Amino acid sequence: MLPMRALPLTALALASFALQGCLARAAVDVVTLPVKAVSAGVDAATTSQSEADEKRGREIRKREERLGKLERDLEKQMERCADGNDKACDEAQAIRAEMKALIPGIPVEPDRR
């Protein structure tokens, strides 16, 4: 059996041995933290080509969907305009103007014959 004075020293030695890995890991984390932070910042600031392509595809699809809705709305307003509704004629002109502004942003698909 160990004397009473040796017990705290033994416990201290065991604790320091057990904590050695934790301290080493903490030191590595502290050293690599700035590198990880800069890397994360660069990743957030840059966009890969595939991400840019996906974003462009989503934007084009949204424009195509909007153009489709405008075409349907224009058809309805033109029918009402033909029936003599002046407000519908004005609305049809506004829809045409929006369509005209939207069309250049939609790429033309090549004919696949």
Tokens for 72, please give them: 């349907």
Tell me which residue range forms the domain holding 83: 71-106
pLDDT tens-place values along the chain, 113 residues long: 545 555 565 665 666 666 565 555 655 566 676 767 777 766 666 778 888 889 999 999 999 999 999 999 999 999 999 999 999 999 999 999 999 999 998 888 777 76
Question: What is the spatial distance between Cα 82 and Cα 88, in angstroms, rounded to a whole number?
Answer: 9
Within a domain: 52: no
Within a domain: 76: yes
Within a domain: 79: yes
Within a domain: 113: no
Within a domain: 95: yes
Quick check: 106 and 56 in contact, CB under 8 A?
A: no
Q: Which of 95, 99, 66 is nearest to 78 (CA)?
A: 95
Domain total of the chain = 1
Within a domain: 11: no
pLDDT confidence of residue 22:
57
Within a domain: 16: no
Secondary structure of residue 90 in the 3-state scheme:
helix
Within a domain: 88: yes
